[in-house]
Structure 1
Amino acid sequence: MGAMFRSEEVVLCQLFIQPEAAYLSVSELGETGTVQFRDLNVDVNYFQRKFVNEVRRCDEMERKLRYIEAEVKKDGVPIEDNLSELPRAPIPREIIDLEARIEKTENDILELSQNALSLKSNYLELTELRHVLERTQVFFSEEEAHDSITRALIHEESQMPNTTGRERLEFVAGVVNRERMPAFERMLWRISRGNVFLRQAIVEKPLEDPSTGNEMYKTAFVAFFQGEQLKSRIKKVCSGFHASLYPCPSSHSERMDMVKGIRTRLEDLKLVLNQTHDHRQRVLHNVAKELPNWIIMVRKMKAIYHTMNLFNMDVSKKCLIGECWVPMADLNIVQHCLSEGSRLCGNSIPSFLNVIHSDEDPPTFNRTNRFTRGFQNLIDAYGIASYREANPALYTIVTFPFLFGIMFGDAGHGLLMFLFALYMVVWEKKLLAKRTSNEIWNIFFGGRYIILLMGGFSIYTGIIYNDLFSKSMNIFGSKWVLPRGAEYTFDNMKKSHTKLLDPKSTFADEPYILGMDPIWMFAENKIIFFNSYKMKLSIIFGVVHMIFGVCMSAVNIISFKKYSSLFLEFLPQLLFLVVLFAYLAALMFLKWIRYGALNSGIASEACAPSILVSFINMVLFKDPKTYPNCGDGYMFPNQKLVQHVFLFTAAICVPILLFGKPLYVVCTKKGSKGKVYTNGAASQDIELQTSNSISGATANAAVASSPSNAAAPGHADHEHDDSFGELMIHQAIHTIEYVLSTISHTASYLRLWALSLAHSQLSEVLWNKILHAGLGAQKDQYVLAGILFVTFAVWAFFTVAILVLMEGLSAFLHTLRLHWVEFMSKFYEGQGQPFQPFYFKTILDADQETDED
């Protein structure tokens, strides 16, 4: 947890890498994910950078791999996505071989696809021709009969003088899409003015589209007509409706011979298609085994060349220079990666790194594990911490689920939440291996440890509230007794006419062992008691939470050595909060301790003052209202004097907050001229083992060519450049915001009470109106069992859907607001930049999410 207290120290380093070892060195760094590179070629067009051709080669390989992957998925061949071990980026001499294998695979699949397309097209044409010949056979029989009568009439007319011969009927046969048939028929009628005789027959079995594989529904047709001009028109219409025309003999015997030949050819084509499909499947299965590795290797190659384009060449063009942010704890890892890259390429001149000073704020890096990552994400969603700022995530691990538990406050619902999170934690590796694009599930799984703690704390607070699915648990027996001394038991509860728990008449002889006494569940004044109890607890926890937030600002002040802020900001803020609202919380404890129903005199119940009225009278400088036998109305001696001192102290804190820092800056402005503040992390002495193989002249020239060294190390305090007026405006806004927000933030913690009360009442309503109604049904035992089954299912559904999911989400959002606004605003700036290392795993995960989208 030490690394969670504040972000790690990050330094700016220069990498001096030999060109031959650059690729392998960057590859090693990408596997570790320890450096964030800077672009040293900002002014250079991307297409003019040194390794742009290599990036284009990787883009071309990615294009080929996308085509191969599409063909594999089109045939339904499974691709193994969850690799046990990710392949490393290929070494330079293996890149050509990989490129050749990908190109050969693409050509093979392309050739197979073209051959299959050609065979399927031939098969489709023969199938359509067979349907034309078979389906239109009856049409030609009718035409032949009609034609024989026509020939006889023509023969008789030819014997008569002054008669002209009639032309024989011609025809066009083919197939057209079924949905286009009505329009096709109307168009033929219009162009021929009714002189085309169209016969059609539906092809029941759908045909397969060779290009897409989709089913097509066709209709075979034969159009009879006379005249060449009409024939030309009909063919144009067929072309416009994408109808396929086929030659069809006019003789019956010729048609039968053609059908037999077509059937034989179809059988042969079907055999060839099956063999082609089997061969394609074997090829694609072999490709599917290698495809994930190829994709990862190409993406890693592309990321390496992209990173190398950020490097700069030194003046002698003997080494590449890169700049990167590196966590101080990972410097040895980076040096090892550079050495390993030089060793793998067989270069005798090693690469090395040099830590340099910078006037830039380093990026913020919080090292997390699978448990703390979820809590850190909650903080980062508000804003990335400024460099070396105190990290709220460490304290959020405890405070977030605890405040959630106060609002949720049901042991039964908390147990459901805990078991769900426990399932995700126990089967973590198995669920993590099953990648899913379900965003809701990914959110739940990413916050599994948060949900686990929220469920655990809800169980704890549910035990304190003695609330289990809106029912109390009578484990130790009630400590309340009736006036006659009898204990509260089930029989006595039935005999008793009153359920009002009044300490004067029915009282507890000793405290309940843990949490609330179960008798409160039957009390008529339960709501009044729980309202007062939970409301006061909300204020107490809220004040403690805010005081802790103010105290955390002292940690930042001491860390950044702004000691003036310790006296001009921290102490006034803390005093203002303590003398007003911590005093309010102290009055609550004092009232609980001093006043009681069994006490007499000024400590009796009747003399107990209202805390809210007392606080208002304190602010208004009013004396409390007095009652007979209750003294002066104050809770302790000299309370009036203490309250006046506290109010005077709070009033003094406001002008100190308002004028203190601006006046201090103005008074120290002249003495601070010329003073330089350096980055503490960068100013530390760092001892690294560097090689002396590279000459001093080359190293010096490389350092001189780096743009980060154009300015001297360190940066001046820019606050001194601000005018007094600007400082006053900024400080006035800050002071007004703090003073007013202290009041509003304290009231904001009342949501702990409000949501807890709403949750318990809604849970009780579901129990009484649904499940209890089923239990009270006066039916036969078999009918009652069915009723109970239905009512329990309805109750369980609404319990999970409303009380666990919706109420849980509501309590989560309110808890998040209490941390972001009420707690973190006291000390957290959140103006930093995230540390984004060059890490292959992050790049691959982002690419995979893009592919899934």
Structure 2
Amino acid sequence: MIEKMQFVSITGPKADIDRVVDQYLSRYEIHLENALAQLQTLKTLTPYLQINPYKGLLAKALEYEKLLDSGNIQTNLTMTLDEAVALIESFDQQLTRINEQKKELEDQKKELEELLTQLEPFLSLDFDISRFLQFRYMTCRFGRISREYYNKFETYVYGSEETLFYPCHKNDRYIWGFYFCPTKVTDRIDAVYASMHFEQLDVPEKLYGIPSQVQVQLTGQLQQTEKELTKLQDTIAELLQKQGEKLYAATRKLESQSRNFDIRRLAACTKEDNREVFYILCGWMSVTDATAFQKEIADDQNLYCFVETDPYSTAHGEPPTKLKNPKIFRPFEMFVKMYGLPSYHEMDPTIFVALTYMFIFGAMFGDAGQGVCLVIGGFLLYKFKKMDLAAIIGTAGIFSTFFGLMFGSIFGFEDVIPALWLRPVEAMSNLPFLGTLNTVFVVAIAFGMFLILITMIFHIINAVRMKDVEGIWFDQNAVAGLVFYGSLVAVIFLFMTGHTLPAGAVLGVMFGIPLVIIMLKEPLARMVKKESPVIEGSKGMYFVQSFFELFEVMLSYLSNTLSFVRIGAFAVSHAAMMEVVLMLAGAEAGSPNWIVVILGNIFVTAMEGLIVGIQVLRLEYYEMFSRFYKGSGRAFQPFLKKSKNK
């Protein structure tokens, strides 16, 4: 069902807008429209321009809230706006100061780790590094060289140059060490080593001393830094634990205030002209909310509200759609929304979809045992995960269980319980002219005809709501189509049951006149509306085109009807598939392999359940929705969340 809407216009002094939003609008759901667009004929209005002062503070609050385990916070704590702002500002100052200290310590920790990494290859040295770097007549360079070039260096350079290389540490790729050379030839020796890809390492003063002793000192400093970092982290955790509930409440208050403030983007203002400025807000409310809102503001002298009561007024465009269905049918709104929300004046097909989907699914997947599994699994999944699809599976499983009892099938076994109606594979019917057919096929076609007639009635109801003359009387799904198809169904029923058929003249009227009306639907609709010309363009071309369109309409009636055969086909195929499973399990011998039976049931339930679910949805969309439903509505989107204290 679609909740009835009313268009409301709210106005009051510009300076009073925050009070109105907090005191009234936050307690109701309102789908706001742009006031300037709605009142564009008025040239005396201007946009309500004002920068949101809460966005920056809210961004900080949301950032800090990420540090909280907000999922475990359950609080009814409320705050005033001033309290929320003061709390966030104070928290920001404290956390900023702590984060600055934390950043310094993290930089210090990183520096110490880099120094220790740089020192590690030289730990075998038992000399003070600084002494090597302070020789007067000798130059010392620390660094590393790859093994490949070190071997070449030993072969071609080491014996012919005035240098001495001392290796300290080796791995698979590099050799770390240092070399000496006379100061007077330093440039030439540095060039030689550079040609051998020697990578010089600058030795900072913090590494001066005996490496093993320096390592102990740096390790101690690193441990102390890590302790201080841990202490700061504990301080932050303690602060969050102490202020967590208040921070959460303050964030919600700022979030609400920021969203409320953003209402100004959709408001319009009257021009100043040295007079008091008023704001104007426009939007849609449900009839229930609009009535309650009017009563609540009745004594407010600074607030005026006008409500448009004509449901067919087009002055403000098409109202948004808000679905409101009983809880048991609510999960099926998912299928409706997948196709498209109904427009405001269109029927909500949710209940129809729910009933037909569950019934058809059960008929196509009739097994009492597997149906019970779908019920248990679907509703458990819905309870813990709140998935609409899980609820649909659970309710469809109820009908699978029902039809399983009607077909006498439980986990594929056909001889355990009696069939309350028939067994799909065995039941046959003798029909005039057609001969012997499977009964479930015949019933499926008859059920499909019934659904097509129902959808035609829905089409007529929608057309009446839309005041569409062609859709009411002349369309293939309108009264003309209903008379033709209904007459055809009646004649087939009389013929198959052996009753006397109407006279040929009556049949001619029942079939012929509706088809002529359908073929001439456009000129007939224009005549009723008193539009001219009655036929646009060439009349000959129009009649040729209309004839072929009528032929297509006849084919669509046939194909749509035969499409429902799949209901019976899947009922038969399910029984046949389980028969194969039981055959593989050796059930015919009297002692089935229960592992095969269980695995086969799981496979058939999963695979056929998925296929049947898709096929039923196809029937809903292509054979039923296409006859009466457009799904061109727009969703009702309340700008503000309704306050809990309403």
TM-score, normalized by the shorter chain, greater than 0.5: yes
Q: What residue identity is the alignment partner of 1:311? A: A
The 1-side partners of 2:13 and 2:199 are apart by 66
1:471 offset after TM fit, Å?
Answer: 1.0
Q: 2:307 aligns with which of 346, 355, 369?
A: 355
The 5 A counterparts of 1:336-355 are: 349-355=301-307
Q: SS at 1:390's partner residue?
A: coil
Match of residue 486 from structure 1:
none
The 5 A counterparts of 1:5-404 are: 7-27=2-22, 31-32=26-27, 34-41=29-36, 50-54=48-52, 57-69=53-65, 72=67, 79-81=69-71, 84=74, 94=81, 97-126=83-112, 129=115, 136-140=122-126, 167-168=137-138, 170-172=140-142, 197=165, 199=167, 201=169, 221-226=176-181, 227=183, 229=187, 245-247=203-205, 258=214, 261-262=217-218, 265-266=221-222, 268-286=224-242, 288-315=244-271, 316-335=275-294, 349-356=301-308, 358-359=314-315, 360-404=317-361
Q: What residue identity is the alignment partner of 1:465? A: F
The 2-side partners of 1:102 and 1:265 are apart by 35
Cα RMSD of the aligned pairs, angstroms, is 4.6
Q: 1:662 aligns with which of 523, 528, 531?
A: 523
1:111 offset after TM fit, Å?
Answer: 3.0
**Alignment pair present for 1:544 and 2:450:** yes
**Paired residues, number:** 602
1:737 offset after TM fit, Å?
Answer: 5.3
1:814 offset after TM fit, Å?
Answer: 1.5
The 1-side partners of 2:142 and 2:598 are apart by 70
Match of residue 553 from structure 1:
459
Over residues 530-583 of structure 1, what are the superposed CA-to-partner deviations in whole Å (9 max), with x where a residue is unaligned? 971121111011001111111223333454566786554533211211222343
The 2-side partners of 1:26 and 1:235 are apart by 77
| Percent identity of paired positions between Structure 1 and Structure 2 | 18
Q: What residue identity is the alignment partner of 1:451? A: I
1:392 offset after TM fit, Å?
Answer: 1.7
Q: What residue identity is the alignment partner of 1:63? A: A
**Alignment pair present for 1:796 and 2:582:** no
The 2-side partners of 1:760 and 1:401 are apart by 19
The 2-side partners of 1:283 and 1:530 are apart by 82
1:410 offset after TM fit, Å?
Answer: 1.5
Q: Which moved more, 1:747-756 or 1:372-381?
A: 372-381
Contact in 1 for aligned 2:140/2:180 (Cα 8 Å): yes
Match of residue 364 from structure 2:
407
Compared with structure 1, are the counterparts of its residues 454 and 320 closer, same or farther at alpha carbon in structure 2 (3 Å cutoff)? same
Q: What residue identity is the alignment partner of 2:95? A: I
TM-score (norm 2): 0.78
1:520 offset after TM fit, Å?
Answer: 5.5
**Alignment pair present for 1:471 and 2:413:** yes
Q: SS at 1:724's partner residue?
A: coil
Q: 1:831 aligns with which of 604, 611, 632?
A: 632
Q: What residue identity is the alignment partner of 1:556? A: N
1:404 offset after TM fit, Å?
Answer: 1.1
Compared with structure 1, are the counterparts of its residues 130 and 474 closer, same or farther at alpha carbon in structure 2 (3 Å cutoff)? closer
Contact in 1 for aligned 2:409/2:417 (Cα 8 Å): no
1:416 offset after TM fit, Å?
Answer: 0.9
Over residues 155-214 of structure 1, what are the superposed CA-to-partner deviations in whole Å (9 max), with x where a residue is unaligned? xxxxxxxxxxx94351437xx9xxxx859988x979x977683745489xxxxxxxxxxx
Q: 2:623 aligns with which of 819, 822, 829?
A: 822
Compared with structure 1, are the counterparts of its residues 220 and 35 closer, same or farther at alpha carbon in structure 2 (3 Å cutoff)? farther
Over residues 30-59 of structure 1, what are the superposed CA-to-partner deviations in whole Å (9 max), with x where a residue is unaligned? 645522111124599xxx9545411xx443
The 2-side partners of 1:368 and 1:816 are apart by 20
Over residues 465-506 of structure 1, what are the superposed CA-to-partner deviations in whole Å (9 max), with x where a residue is unaligned? 111122125446xxxxxxxxxxxxxxxxxxxxxxxxxxxxxx
The 5 A counterparts of 1:606-617 are: none
Match of residue 431 from structure 2:
none
In structure 2, runs of 5+ residues without a counterpart are: 428-434
Q: SS at 2:104's partner residue?
A: helix
Contact in 2 for aligned 1:404/1:458 (Cα 8 Å): yes
Match of residue 610 from structure 2:
809
The 2-side partners of 1:135 and 1:236 are apart by 20
Compared with structure 1, are the counterparts of its residues 431 and 268 closer, same or farther at alpha carbon in structure 2 (3 Å cutoff)? same
Q: SS at 1:753's partner residue?
A: helix
Over residues 216-264 of structure 1, what are the superposed CA-to-partner deviations in whole Å (9 max), with x where a residue is unaligned? xx99954334345479889999xx9897743377875xx6665565455
1:288 offset after TM fit, Å?
Answer: 4.6
The 2-side partners of 1:739 and 1:410 are apart by 37
Compared with structure 1, are the counterparts of its residues 373 and 241 closer, same or farther at alpha carbon in structure 2 (3 Å cutoff)? farther
Q: SS at 2:438's partner residue?
A: helix
Match of residue 709 from structure 1:
none
Contact in 2 for aligned 1:469/1:764 (Cα 8 Å): no
TM-score (norm 1): 0.61
Match of residue 646 from structure 1:
507
1:653 offset after TM fit, Å?
Answer: 1.4
**Alignment pair present for 1:573 and 2:481:** yes
The 2-side partners of 1:651 and 1:398 are apart by 34
1:417 offset after TM fit, Å?
Answer: 0.7
Q: What residue identity is the alignment partner of 2:536? A: G
1:317 offset after TM fit, Å?
Answer: 4.1
The 2-side partners of 1:822 and 1:746 are apart by 8
Q: What residue identity is the alignment partner of 1:246? A: P
Match of residue 724 from structure 1:
535
The 2-side partners of 1:221 and 1:737 are apart by 87
Match of residue 207 from structure 1:
none
Over residues 689-729 of structure 1, what are the superposed CA-to-partner deviations in whole Å (9 max), with x where a residue is unaligned? xxxxxxxxxxxxxxxxxxxxxxxxxxxxxxx5886328979
Q: What residue identity is the alignment partner of 2:630? A: E
**Alignment pair present for 1:747 and 2:548:** no
The 1-side partners of 2:202 and 2:62 are apart by 34
Contact in 1 for aligned 2:365/2:574 (Cα 8 Å): yes
Contact in 2 for aligned 1:30/1:840 (Cα 8 Å): no
1:301 offset after TM fit, Å?
Answer: 2.7
Contact in 2 for aligned 1:9/1:388 (Cα 8 Å): no
Q: SS at 2:266's partner residue?
A: coil
Compared with structure 1, are the counterparts of its residues 51 and 518 closer, same or farther at alpha carbon in structure 2 (3 Å cutoff)? closer
Q: What residue identity is the alignment partner of 2:439? A: Y
